[in-house]
Amino acid sequence: MTGNSKFTALLFLVCVGMGAGAHAHGRRDDRERLERHERADSLRKEALAKWDDCDRRDSRERRKPGKAKDKNEDRGGQGNADDFSTAPLQCGDVITTNSRLTEDLVCPNTDGFALVVVGDNITLDGNGFKILAPNAGAGLFVQGSENTVRNLGVQGGRAFGIFAYNSPGIKILNNDTSFNQVGIEIYTDAPVVSGAVVRGNKSVGNAAYGVRTGQGNLGQIVNPKISGNDFSDSGSFGMAIAATRYEMDGRRVYNRLRGSENGIFLVSGSFSLHHFSLRSEKLLKTQIFAQNAAYVRIADADVSSTLSPEPSEERTGVDLYRVGKFKLVRVKAHGNDTGLRLQTEQGVSPDGDIQDCDFAGHAYAGISIISYDATPYGRIKLKCNNFYEDVLAGVHELIVELSTVADIRLFDSCEGGDDRDDCDREDDREDDRE
């Protein structure tokens, strides 16, 4: 699909695909991802139910002795050494003022929250110590505005390491939340959560996610800043982001995902991911998976795999399921089973642009498009893409699967004006300002 002459085609395709086996793997992977996501949701609901039924009712009796409001609260809870309480903490304590751990907190029998922070502008400094609560719903539960959790270990729990609930401006810094079900959970069902920062944490080996954000009912999470973390060896995804809006600029942001089953999971909302590479992360299955998102833009990215093919799995560069609009610009996808997989059903008719992308060395297809029911695709425009697939070995450059209807427009020529979108131009303006 490359060449020097311009070729434009309007195609309504109902193709007989040959990828039943590949898409059977894909559907199985989708089910496994959904099951893990639902399990994490169930654990969250269980934790919040305990908070509703118990913790709010008796928190007054269980609060740690001390002032209701620290003199440093209005300065964001940072303070100096004299501003922090170092009184011994017990399992289940509710902290309402700046506090610093002086020893590990061991809570083998706690099934609710091992430690709770409630209020605004509070800092909990773990001081390098740990919360050890293998049966807790969360090692640490935080609720309130502009709170900070730092230098704390919360490891080996059955559910959440750190759970921030309805917490605008939450800052989770330099903690170790490894080997839980979910390392760090940020969830809102009422307020708008903006200004969230997750930075410098080690959150490896979690059964589901290194970090997960979620929003329900009237809650919104807006562009959390997640950078400088280690989410390696996650059992499902290193990062799972549900947000009204989220941007990841790889020139300013890096998170380690190495060895995780999948890389980044995007749910609902609008997403822009650009100037990044996942090539060296050695992800076992999917580099980027988006589900039920309004808009996904991926630009100047490398979603290639350097792992050997695995017949029992399907490895995908970018997988978009029921995404309303999408744009891929200057994306490199090499060495997967499928470079870009588009999936839809249940009335969502995606349309989008695929431009200046590079697809090579895949086991099944550069691009695969499928609808699992009668839902048609909208317009899909392909322009100035390069395909280097082994078609003699049965690898497809582009395949529209059995009974799938799509309006595909092909442009071989790269001639014309500036094809970059507004986000690209804004990136250039930011570089000039810097």
| pLDDT (tens digit per residue) in 118-127 | 999 999 999 9
Structural domain span for residue 91: 10-433
The predicted pLDDT at position 82 comes to 56
- Does residue 41 form part of some domain? yes
Query: Other CB atoms closer than 10 Å to residue 136's CB: what's the count?
Result: 31
The predicted pLDDT at position 72 comes to 35
- Beta carbons of 121 and 73 less than 8 angstroms apart: yes
Strand 130-132 and strand 113-118: pairing? unpaired
The predicted pLDDT at position 41 comes to 82
State which of 85-89, 230-234, 314-318 shows the largest mean pLDDT.
230-234
- Does residue 1 form part of some domain? no
Q: What is the percentage of the chain residues whose pLDDT exceeds 90? A: 71
Positive/negative CA dihedral, 37, 319, 273, 408: negative
Per the structure, the count of domains in the chain is 1
The predicted pLDDT at position 49 comes to 83
Single pTM value for the model: 0.86
- Does residue 150 form part of some domain? yes
Q: Tens of pLDDT along 385-402? A: 999 999 999 999 999 998
The predicted pLDDT at position 231 comes to 98
- Does residue 51 form part of some domain? yes
- Beta carbons of 322 and 345 less than 8 angstroms apart: yes
C-alpha to C-alpha distance for 83 and 103, rounded to whole angstroms: 18
| pLDDT mean over 200-223 | 95
Rounded to 5 degrees, φ, ψ at 225 are -100, 110
- Does residue 157 form part of some domain? yes
What is the residue-averaged pLDDT of the chain?
A: 85
- Does residue 361 form part of some domain? yes
- Does residue 5 form part of some domain? no
CATH code assigned at 122: 2.160.20
- Beta carbons of 304 and 332 less than 8 angstroms apart: yes
Span of 159-168, 227-236, 262-271, 301-310 with lowest mean pLDDT: 301-310
More confident residue, 302 or 313: 302
| pLDDT mean over 392-420 | 82
C-alpha to C-alpha distance for 134 and 129, rounded to whole angstroms: 16
* Cβ contacts of 82 within 8 Å, gap of 6 or more: none
- Does residue 90 form part of some domain? yes
